[in-house]
Structures are given as C-alpha cells and as structure tokens.
Structure 1
Amino acid sequence: MTYAPPGYLCPVDGTRAEVATARWCCPTCGGPWDLDFTPDPSVPLEPAGGPWSLWRYGPVLPLPGEIPISLGEGHTPLVPLTERIHAKLDFLMPTLSFKDRGAVMLVELARRLGPERVVADSSGNAGTAFAAYCARAGLPCEVFVPEGTSEKKTERMRAHGAAVRVVPGGREAAARAARAAADAPGVFYASHVFNPYFLHGTKTYVYEIWERLGGRLPEALVVPVGNGTLLLGAALAVAELSRRGVRPPALIGVQAEAVSPLAAAFAAGGDDAEPVAQRPTLAEGIAIPAPPRARQILAAVRKSGGTIVTVSDDRLRAARADLARRGLSVEPTAAACWAAVSPASPTNPLGSRTAVLPLCGAAAPAGPAGV
C-alpha cells in the first residue's frame, strides 16, 4: 500500500486537503496550512538508536518509512555562554543555518511527491538550504530572491545548481513571484512560511536539546522571531514532549526594534499583529513587517508564559562583537537573542532562569569593516 503523507489542515476554518493535490495555501482563507499530524506519545522515542541526523527522531516526524535524503543535519552542540545560558550552534549545520532543519523535511516531501521542479523564495539562508537539499535529492530548484540579496548567498545557491531569479523590490515581491510560479502544473512550492512540514523539521531543534540535557528542557527557550518558523517548531516540540511528561519551558521571542509587529501586538494584548513599515535593520533575517502566522506565534508565546522583546541595532552590534570575542562568529540576526539576554542587556527578560538560545546563522568572512 502506498504511504500518503499527513494532509494539511487550516487552523482558521478547518479546511482539509491532501498534500499531493493541495495548493500552497488554504483555498478558503488564503492563510498558511497546519499539518493534520499528532505523534503518539506512547510510541518509544529512542534517538540514540537512530541515524546521526535529525531523522533519529523518526517516531515524531511526519515522513516515516523510506530512507530519507540527508546531509547529516542536526546534532549541533550546546556551549555555555554563562552559568545558566547555553547557545546551540546551529550555524554548524550543512548550509550554515537552522533552515536546514526545515529544508530537509520539505525537500524529502517533494522527493516523494515527484514534482517537475521545486520553487522557493528567500532573502538568503532558506534559499541556500533548499538549493543544497534539492541538489542532494536530484530535484530541479528555482529560488526567487529580492534585489539586493547578497551576491555571496546567490552564488552559493547557484553553486548547488539552483536557478536564481532576482525580483525587483523587497522580500514580499520575491514571495509573490514564487507563488505565481507555484501555481503552474508540476511545481512544488517549498514555502518555509506556508508549508507546515518545515515546522516539523525545525522542531527537532528542541528535541536535540531535550536529548542533550538528559530528557529535560531548560526553563526558557529564547528564539529570534520574524516569520516564526523556529519558534513555532519549538512550540510543536514542547507540546509533544509535554505529552511525554517533560516540563515545558517559557518561549521568549526576540525581534528587531526597527521591525517588530509581534512585540507591539504582544505588549498591547492583541491576538494578531498589525503590519508595520519595512525599515532598515542589521537583523534582516527577522525584519518581517506582516508575519502570516502572527496569530499562532502570539498564542504560542502566551500559552508558554513567555514574552516577546526587541533589541536595537546598537545592542545587536555589541552582542555580535561579544560573541566574536568568545570565538563565535555569527551573522547579525543570529546575535539578536544574545543581545536580549546577555548580562549587558538592560532589559533582560530571563531573570534567574536557565535558558538555551540558538546561534542560527554563520557570518560571512569579514571584510575590511571587520565585525
């Protein structure tokens, strides 16, 4: 019998659809999909017996069965920053960012569905991850990027064999172009925002922390938030592990002060976020003016007893320089969490709680300007 991957479920209106025939968004409300999938907590989870990749968490992943594609992603180390705060070095992933966690899941889904080509949109790290994993899977890949995207990042995409389409305008213009292409026959849209399989890849970030800490989690997980793909993946894992008796941590989201619709909505007690202006910031990776999953992000943070805070570019610079002095070279967005919770932060939301934060993207080699 042919295995059918778990189908899509709209969190707004309850619409259901099969993965093989569904559009990239809910046809009724136009919003992102959730996955109609809940792992059985009675099934033993013994990752030490699995492969040296995130596929070791097979019992809680939605794509069992076949031998999946892999580049050995996952198992990034935890290193102490202070006595109570550890950093998880996701910039050591195969394409140098946490996006590999979701990309391997989405590309494996595409491989099983057998499209003529895979389409994605990205301003950098996600596009590189999709290009690499499509190369591994033998799938043609096309990545739409906004004008102004770093040439180093587009060169890496092309090196993996992807066709790079530069779109005039900003990040949303690239997304619109990709979605238009996604409606053509034979195309799989690998959207790290709209497709929930991506979130079930990013949730392995928390499963690795749970495994590394001997079956427990810290008191708080501090996560950078733009579209919320890492935070929502973390929330999925926390909920699943809670059903296995693991005490859930608070989720603390960090946004760039210049573009912070979620922090504003959280402070105002709102259930959804109003779009904000796109303003320049060092933390380009989380500068999302209108996150499609804003309602889910706000609900997940509130349910956990957490909060959403902002950091200025000045604090980002200082945090990035501090990490470099500790031997950790990361891109500006990846320094956001340390900017929020380091001992130098004037508004540290952690207090005395233990915490893990991700360093989720590697810095490019420094030019004359240095750090």
Structure 2
Amino acid sequence: MTYATDTSALPDRFCPADGTRVAAVSPAWSCPACRGPLDLDFSPTPAPLDKLSGRVNSLWRYAECLPLPAPAISLGEGRTPVVELEGRISAKLDFLMPTLSFKDRGAVMLAALALRLGPDRVIADSSGNAGTAVAAYCARAGLDCTVYVPAGTSPKKLEQIGAHGARVDVVDGDRESAASAARAAADEPGTFYASHVHNPYFLHGTKTYVHELWEDLGGRLPEALVVPVGNGTLLLGAQLAVRELHAAGLIARRPALYAVQSAAVAPLAGAWRAGADDLVGETPMAPTHAEGIAIPRPPRARQILRAVRESGGAFLTVTEEQIASAQADLTGRGLYVESTGVACWAAVREGALDGRTGVVPLCGAGVKTGMAGG
C-alpha cells in the first residue's frame, strides 16, 4: 500500500447523503450542497495480527488503516488497557490518554491534517473533551487554536483548554450554540475547522479503539461493543474498524453495536423506538450528568441509526440516578471516571446484554468533572 506523502495523495471526501465529492485539499468542512458532514473515500486493509509485533506502541501501529502517515506530533495516544469489570463485561480505559479522554484518537488526526494543509488558524467547538484534545495537539504542532464552548462547560475543562495555549470563546447558550458560532467562523479565509463531527479524519482516529481491542483480545472482538453516543464519533469509528477487519477476513462475525444515551437528552433513542431512519421532532436540552453526550440534533443521526440497526444492536438509555450509581460503583473498583464516561457501565451492569461478552469504554477521567451530584 502507498501512504500519503503530500497533500495531493490525500483521499478525497464525499457526502454520504447526496454523493457530492470534495477534493482532499479543499477548505470545505461540509458538503457544499446540503451542508452535511463528510466521509472519506478510503477503504484500507488492516495488517494481520502477526505483522503488528514490534511496531510503535501507539495507535499509529495500525498505519495501513490510517489516511495519514505517523506524524511528528504524536503524544503516544492509544494502546489503552482492557480490564475485567464483572462477569463477561470488560472496560477499555480510554481515560488513560494524554489529555485524559478518548478524543485524543481523533484530535491527533485533525491536527496532523491541519499541519499538512498549513492554515493560519484552527478552530473547534466542544463541550470540553474534544476541545481539550484539539488544543493539546495544536500546541504540539505549533498551530494557532481557538475553541468555542457553551456556557456552563466544566471549569476544569476550560482550564485544561487554556493551559495548552488555545483561546477559549465561551458562547452564551447550549452545545448547539457553540457549534453554530464555530461554523460561522469556519468559512473565514485561512481557517481549518477541526470539527470532530463533520471532519471524517476524526472517525478514522476513533476507529483505532476497535483495532486495539481486536489485537489485545488475540484477533477477536466481543459479541457486543457498547459505546456512549452524542454525536456518535466513537460508534461510527467502531463501525469503520469492524467493517475493515471483517472485509479482510480477520474476524468471522461482526459484533452488535449498542448505543447509550442519557434519558434526559436522547434524540437517537427516541428515533430508534419510533422505527425511524432519522430524528423525530425536536428534543429539548435538559440538565444531565452525561453532558458530553447531551446533543439534541447530532448531524450524523442517519448514519448512527443505520449503523446500530445493521449491526443487530440497539439503543439503551440511562437515568441520572443510574449514572450516579454507576460512577460510585466504578470509583469503588478503583476507577475514577467522569459522569459521561460511566454511561455505558450504567446501561449494562444489570444484565442488558443478556450474558453476551461486551466491552465498554471509560472515556474521560473523573478529575475533569468530579462526581455526579457532587
């Protein structure tokens, strides 16, 4: 396989809704026709298990599956451990990352791409973790960075974003207000919009979560992959990895994808229950401990619903009481995880998988937000 060595060799992007194609070096951050998110025209073949020994101990060991070669800005992201929680359920400790969340997997790809394209500035929008990750990797790459965040973002996350030298623009309103402010600035000349929702490079970073699981489990995957879903970047990344491994004959069956949402803000679960292919009606924003997945209108809703349906999985919702209880339970097991990151354990700890093997991600460290209800 030939890897990209310059911008002319980067894969093109395309709109999954209407097929519109966007050149690799275009500054467009969304489909010019419908303004929807883009996918990457990239179908790699993973290396077999016996070819991975001795490679770099980061997500860049899966080089065949990444649309960019290993950059000089890596912070050693990836290769997080898997530990047993209870019975047939294990957890992947993705809070053990350079910025203490799984978003590093995608952020390093966005920063590496921006470094190649050479913008004057990088902007991002986030409820905290994605913005922190983008800020850190932009600092590593020497890129000017501004992060738009909604009012009410955890002070600890704001401190972490600023510590990396990024400007923090606090937007009055909710998560969607912050995204709207970023999109308004995204078309300014010389701007690279490091959108973890619209830019497909982010998904090709998050998919390494599953490639690591496959390697660490000896060339297999559990029967169920359970992931928290707001904008769906981890779930859609997981779908990409499963597809790649299956197409290469490296797994015999595809695991079911289970998507977990907070019952307080669950637009996708509502659409799922209605049997719909897209969002149904309006979902009002509501307070929830799981702030990182409280997304009333995820732009990739149709893709998320289709991915879960095609995998044979389902949507699960958790209450605020379940989230707080699950966080306390994990703390008692020695794992201090932020409230959003415990949602999956809250969903499956009482048998939702009916005895099947499953893995949940613990996505962010507890020091970012503290204890639910605390």
- In the alignment, the residues of structure 1 paired with residue 328 and residue 312 of structure 2 have an alpha-carbon distance, to the nearest angstrom, of 31
Residue 35 and residue 367 in structure 1: after superposition, are their counterparts in 2 closer, same or farther (change >3 A)?
closer
Given that 1:257 and 1:311 are in contact with CA atoms closer than 8 Å, whether structure 2 keeps it comes out as yes
Given that 1:49 and 1:56 are in contact with CA atoms closer than 8 Å, whether structure 2 keeps it comes out as no
- In the alignment, the residues of structure 1 paired with residue 21 and residue 86 of structure 2 have an alpha-carbon distance, to the nearest angstrom, of 46
Shift of 1:40: 3.2
- CA-to-aligned-CA distance 1:302-342 (integer Å, 9 cap, x gap): 11100001000000011010000000001111110011110
Tell me the equivalent position of 1:330.
337
Shift of 1:47: 2.8
Q: Residue 274 of structure 2 is aligned with which of 265, 268, 271?
A: 268
AA aligned to 2:276 is: G
Tell me the equivalent position of 2:176.
172
Tell me the equivalent position of 2:354.
351
Tell me the equivalent position of 2:289.
282
- In the alignment, the residues of structure 2 paired with residue 251 and residue 278 of structure 1 have an alpha-carbon distance, to the nearest angstrom, of 25
Q: Residue 61 of structure 1 is aligned with which of 66, 70, 77?
A: 66
Q: Secondary structure at the match of 2:204?
A: helix
Shift of 1:68: 4.0
Counterpart check, 1:258 vs 2:261: no
Shift of 1:67: 3.7
- CA-to-aligned-CA distance 1:129-165 (integer Å, 9 cap, x gap): 0000000111111101111212221111111110111
Shift of 1:49: 3.2
Counterpart check, 1:130 vs 2:100: no
Counterpart check, 1:4 vs 2:9: yes
Given that 1:48 and 1:56 are in contact with CA atoms closer than 8 Å, whether structure 2 keeps it comes out as no
AA aligned to 2:256 is: A
Given that 2:324 and 2:372 are in contact with CA atoms closer than 8 Å, whether structure 1 keeps it comes out as no
Residue 112 and residue 338 in structure 1: after superposition, are their counterparts in 2 closer, same or farther (change >3 A)?
same
TM-score, normalized by length of structure 1? Answer: 0.95
- In the alignment, the residues of structure 1 paired with residue 299 and residue 200 of structure 2 have an alpha-carbon distance, to the nearest angstrom, of 12
Counterpart check, 1:29 vs 2:34: yes
Given that 1:120 and 1:143 are in contact with CA atoms closer than 8 Å, whether structure 2 keeps it comes out as yes
- In the alignment, the residues of structure 1 paired with residue 308 and residue 152 of structure 2 have an alpha-carbon distance, to the nearest angstrom, of 33
Q: Which deviates more from structure 2 when the two are superposed, residues 265-274 or residues 214-223?
A: 265-274
Q: Residue 237 of structure 1 is aligned with which of 230, 235, 241?
A: 241
Residue 284 and residue 365 in structure 1: after superposition, are their counterparts in 2 closer, same or farther (change >3 A)?
closer
Residue 279 and residue 368 in structure 1: after superposition, are their counterparts in 2 closer, same or farther (change >3 A)?
closer
Q: Displaced runs of 4+ in structure 1, greater than 4 A?
A: 365-371
- In the alignment, the residues of structure 2 paired with residue 198 and residue 68 of structure 1 have an alpha-carbon distance, to the nearest angstrom, of 18
Tell me the equivalent position of 1:40.
45
Unaligned runs of 5+ in 2: none
Q: Residue 321 of structure 1 is aligned with which of 316, 328, 334?
A: 328
Q: Residue 340 of structure 1 is aligned with which of 337, 342, 347?
A: 347
Counterpart check, 1:225 vs 2:232: no
Unaligned runs of 5+ in 1: none
- In the alignment, the residues of structure 2 paired with residue 192 and residue 124 of structure 1 have an alpha-carbon distance, to the nearest angstrom, of 12
Q: Residue 303 of structure 1 is aligned with which of 300, 305, 310?
A: 310
Given that 2:264 and 2:288 are in contact with CA atoms closer than 8 Å, whether structure 1 keeps it comes out as yes
- In the alignment, the residues of structure 2 paired with residue 230 and residue 37 of structure 1 have an alpha-carbon distance, to the nearest angstrom, of 18
Tell me the equivalent position of 1:158.
162
Counterpart check, 1:20 vs 2:7: no
- In the alignment, the residues of structure 2 paired with residue 119 and residue 197 of structure 1 have an alpha-carbon distance, to the nearest angstrom, of 15
- CA-to-aligned-CA distance 1:238-292 (integer Å, 9 cap, x gap): 1111112202100011000011111111111110112311111111111110111
AA aligned to 2:334 is: G
- In the alignment, the residues of structure 2 paired with residue 21 and residue 365 of structure 1 have an alpha-carbon distance, to the nearest angstrom, of 35
AA aligned to 1:153 is: K
Shift of 1:170: 1.1
- In the alignment, the residues of structure 2 paired with residue 51 and residue 368 of structure 1 have an alpha-carbon distance, to the nearest angstrom, of 35
Given that 1:8 and 1:33 are in contact with CA atoms closer than 8 Å, whether structure 2 keeps it comes out as yes
Q: Secondary structure at the match of 2:226?
A: strand
- In the alignment, the residues of structure 2 paired with residue 201 and residue 365 of structure 1 have an alpha-carbon distance, to the nearest angstrom, of 22
Given that 2:98 and 2:104 are in contact with CA atoms closer than 8 Å, whether structure 1 keeps it comes out as yes
AA aligned to 2:286 is: R
Shift of 1:44: 5.0
Aligned residues: 365
AA aligned to 1:324 is: T
- CA-to-aligned-CA distance 1:103-124 (integer Å, 9 cap, x gap): 0011101111111111000111
Given that 1:262 and 1:298 are in contact with CA atoms closer than 8 Å, whether structure 2 keeps it comes out as yes
**How much is the aligned-residue C-alpha RMSD, in angstroms?**
1.7
- In the alignment, the residues of structure 1 paired with residue 160 and residue 367 of structure 2 have an alpha-carbon distance, to the nearest angstrom, of 12
- In the alignment, the residues of structure 1 paired with residue 343 and residue 373 of structure 2 have an alpha-carbon distance, to the nearest angstrom, of 18
Given that 2:338 and 2:370 are in contact with CA atoms closer than 8 Å, whether structure 1 keeps it comes out as no
Q: Which deviates more from structure 2 when the two are superposed, residues 134-143 or residues 2-11?
A: 2-11
Q: Residue 142 of structure 1 is aligned with which of 141, 146, 149?
A: 146
